[in-house]
Copies of this chain bind each other. A is one copy, B any other.
Amino acid sequence: MMPQELKKAVVLHSGGLDSTTVLAIAAREGFEPCAMTFIYGQRHIRELEAARSIAVHMEIRHRIEVDVTPGIFTGSALTGDREIPLNRSEKEIGEGIPATYVPARNLIFLSYAVAWAESLGSHDIFIGVNAIDYSGYPDCRPEFIKAFEKAANLATKEGAEGRRISLHAPLISMSKAEIIRAGVSLGVDYSLTHSCYDPSPEGIACGACDSCLLRIKGFREAGLADPITYLKRSEQ
């Protein structure tokens, strides 16, 4: 007998705090995490370098970068078509769908994940969506995850032949502080992660966009020090 090979799982990995925690969770659950990272015209392309460094640090053997055709994702602050909102209050962050919403992003990312999973012989996909301490993105809701999983099983040979594809969203009901505590307990090195939507040319986090504000608040509530540097920290 060959030594037992771990079951592979595709993990959507942006290089941010949430998805990096998910890589560690997938490994703890006994999978070999295979990291899938997207280039989609995001202006915080700095996160791509983070994703690469993290994959090296965590010794990820299977990794793919997908370049989503430019021109598809328009109308979003994340792709440079609108201003990134800064210094919003917690209440504002929680209201409505923000300017950083990218049309159909998780729909496309998850569809690619299903295709790659079929190619790898994997039946498990992990995504770091989170319904608490998130930013009002419709494609992070549990209802969407459930509906997508159903569509994916109907769309594919694996699903059609009864080898069920499972979509895992382990962070879905965790607060940012809980995510950080879980990651620290699994040895995640958050100094390598990048969360900021609007970093300086040198890649320093702004400390004022929604993503920075949620991260800063998460570390504060977890009672832990955030190991990254910020240009300014409005709440500290």
Contact = CB atoms under 8 A, between A and B. Distances in A.
Interface of A: 64, 66-69, 71-75, 97, 101, 103-108, 110-112, 114-116, 118-119, 138-139, 141, 143-144, 147-148, 150-152, 154-157, 159-161
Q: How many copies does the complex hold?
A: 2
A58 to B, nearest CB: 22
A104 B114 contact: yes
Contacts of A154: 138-139, 141, 143-144, 147-148
Given A144-B151, A144-B154, A73 B115 contact: yes
Nearest to A75: B119
B144 A104 contact: no
Contacts of A148: 151, 154-155
A64 to B, nearest CB: 7
A107 B152 contact: yes
A37 to B, nearest CB: 12
